[in-house]
Amino acid sequence: MTKTARMTYTSRCGTARKTKAILEEEGYEVETIDYLDGALSREELARLYDRAGLTPRQGLRAKEEIAKGLNLADASDEEILDAMMQHPILIERPLVETVKGVVLARPQDKVREIL
């Protein structure tokens, strides 16, 4: 049986590259989702957060200048998801999904929880 994983990914992120390497070392075929190019739908992102037991706020890159400018401190989960769809850089990465679950792999070794 082939082991597969899906993950939000950008090659500019060292944690994402290291996480992908861990998955590959463990024999996983990795499907990458280029979330910065809009390849991740709002519904899919909400589903991943739900499966990971995270709120959109917990998946928000709050230190990004865009986040500061959008005043998301008092925003609802729905408003945060909307902001993430408009500005995908606000999505913390990498989100990794296997048959065993979903994690926000920060640090990258957290991915081992779902292998």
For 25-37, the pLDDT digits (tens) are 999 999 999 999 9
Q: Which domain holds residue 36?
A: 3-114
The count of C-alpha atoms lying within 13 angstroms of the C-alpha of 90, restricted to the half-sphere facing its C-beta, is 24
What distance in Å separates the CA atoms of residue 1 and residue 28, rounded to the nearest whole number?
A: 11
- Classified as helix, coil or strand, 87 is coil
Number of domains in the chain: 1
Q: Among residues 47, 60, 53, which one has the least CA distance to residue 86?
A: 60
Q: Are strands 95-98 and 28-33 parallel, antiparallel or unpaired?
A: unpaired
Whether residue 57 lies in the annotated active site = no
pTM of the entire predicted model? 0.94
Catalytic residue among 13, 46, 89, 115: 13
* CATH code for position 8: 3.40.30.10
pLDDT at 100: 97
As given in the structure block, the two tokens for residue 18 are 């290291």
